[in-house]
Amino acid sequence: MSSDILTASQLNSGTSTTGIQVVARIRPSLQHERQLAYPCIFKTNQCVCTTDPQNKLLTSEHPFDAVFGPESTQSEVFSSLQQNIYNALCGVPLLQINYGVTSSGKTYTLFGTEQQPGLLTLSSQFIKQNLPEARLFISVVQIYLNQVSDLLNNCSTLKALATQADPLPGRVFKEFRSETELNQLLKKALALREQSATNNNSQSSRSHCLIYLVIQHNDGQNQLCFVDLAGSEPFQATQSKICQQESSFIRTSLLMLDKAIRDLKNLSSNNSNSVSFRSSQLTMCLRPFLQPKLVNTKFELPGSISLILNLHSNAEGFYSNKETLNLGLLTKEIKNYAKTPSRLGQLGQSVLQVAKSVRSSMSMNNSMNASQISELDEEYIAIRRQEWDWVQEQFSQLGEQLYKMQEQVEDEIIEARRDTVKEMQELMELELQAQKDEYELELLEKDEEIRKLKTALGL
C-alpha cells in the first residue's frame, strides 16, 4: 500500500460545478415516412444540425454532451449514461428523462427489444456486474390525465405528496434477480399502460411512465429513476373527446416540467430556491431529484440528471423538434454545485471486489500465503476506519445544518404557500386557454357547416 494515507476529507471529494447531462438521439426514418433529399435534422460531430424545411438556407447547430445519429445502437447510447450509473453505485441518485415529441423513439430508447435491450435493462446488467451482491427492486408508476397509478399493483391509485421525502410512499416494489425476471415485471406493468393510436403514432403512449430502480447493498441503498414521457402532438379538432383530454393533459404537464427546468436555470440569477412542483403530478413525483438546496450561496441538486432528447428528421415535426432542442440547450445551462461521488465509495467498492476475488481464487488455488491475506485485510480495514472518521465529521456538520434549517422552515412554508397559489393560477390560465382554443375550433367548424348549408340552399 502507498505510504500516502488518504484523509477523510480527501476521501470525501470536494464541491465541483457540474451541469445536467444532455444527450440527443435521432431515430432512423420509418418505412411509411416521406424520405427527404435533405433531412431537417441530422448529426455533425457532437452537434445536432437543423435545416428549416420552409427555408433551406436557415440552418443552425446545437452542441450537446453526446449526439447519436440514426445508425446508433442501444449500447452506444448507454455508454453516455454509464458514468452516471457508476456514480449511483457510489451513492449519487440518478434521474434519467427521455424527452421528445410523439413517435420520436423515447420508449424504444428506454425499454428496447429482446434483441436490442434498452437503457433500463443495460443499467441493471451493469449494476449486477459491478455490484453482484446487491439486491435490485423495481417500481413502475404511470401518470395518466394527472392521476397516478401503480402498474405493479393492478393500477391502484396513488397520491403524490408534496411535503414528504418520498412523494409516493404507497407504491409497490418488486425484487428481480435476473434479466428474465426484470423483463417479466416490465411486460406485466407496461401491458397496463395507457396507449392509443394518434395521427403520428399507431401505438402512442398517452401517459408518463416512471420506473424506480432501488439498489440495496451492505452500505445502504441507492435509487435511480427512469422516465418515459408521453409525447405531445398538435391539437386536432377531429380527435375524439378523450384524445383531446389526453393531449391537453400531456401538453400541460410537459409545460409544468419545462417551467421547473426554467426555474432551476434561473436559481443563480434570482437567488431563490423556489422551483414549481405542486402544479402537476409529474413534477411532484420528480421533486426528490429536482428539489435544490442552498448551501453556502450555491445550489446543490440531490443527484445526477441525464436528459435524452429523442428526435426525428421529418419535416412535419420540425418545429416541435426545435422546441425539444431549445429545452435541451436551456437544460445544459443549469449548474449543479454538488459534491462529486465520494472517492471513499469508489475505493470501498473496488477494495471489496478485489478482496472477494482473492478469496474466491484461494478456494481453488492456495498459492497466496497468510501474510499476503493479512496485508490485504489490513488495507481494507484502514480504508474503513477512514470511512468512520468521515461519518463522524458528517454527523457534526449535520447538526449545524439542522440548526440553520430550523430558522429557514417558517420562511420556506410561507414561500411554498405563495408558490402554490401562483402555480394554481398559472394552471387555471393554461386550462382556460386550452378550452378557449377548443371553443374557437368548434366555432370555425360551425361556420364551415353554415357556409356549406348556405351553398347547398343557394343562399
The response to whether 458 counts as a known ligand-binding position is no
Contact 267, 151 (CB under 8 A): no
List, in order, residues 6 or more apart from 49 with CB less than 8 Å away. 41, 42, 43, 59, 60, 61, 62
Contact 145, 252 (CB under 8 A): no
The response to whether 345 counts as a known ligand-binding position is no
Among 257, 48, 8, 284, CA closest to 166: 284
Work out the burial of residue 325: count CB atoms within 10 Å of its CB; fewer than 13 is exposed, 13-18 middle, 19 or more buried.
Answer: buried
d(CA 311, CA 323): 11
The response to whether 104 counts as a known ligand-binding position is yes
The response to whether 44 counts as a known ligand-binding position is no
Q: Which residues of 186-225 are buried (b: 16+ CB within 10 A; e: fewer)?
A: beebbebbbbeebebbeebbbbbbbbbbbbebeeeebbbb
Contact 303, 222 (CB under 8 A): no
d(CA 154, CA 149): 8
Q: Which residues of 75-112 are buried (b: 16+ CB within 10 A; e: fewer)?
A: eebbebbeebbbbbbbbbbbbbbbbbbbbbbbbbbbbb
DSSP 340: P
d(CA 319, CA 229): 19
- The Cα-based distances of 264 to 254, 300, 409 in angstroms read 15, 10, 20
The response to whether 103 counts as a known ligand-binding position is yes
d(CA 151, CA 209): 9
List, in order, residues 6 or more apart from 170 with CB less than 8 Å away. 150, 156, 158, 159
Work out the burial of residue 177: count CB atoms within 10 Å of its CB; fewer than 13 is exposed, 13-18 middle, 19 or more buried.
Answer: exposed
The three cell numbers locating residue 250: 400531456
DSSP 198: -
> DSSP H helical segments within 271-342, as ranges?
281-290, 318-332
The response to whether 105 counts as a known ligand-binding position is yes
* Binding-site annotation, residues for ATP: 100-107
* Binding-site annotation, residues: 100-107
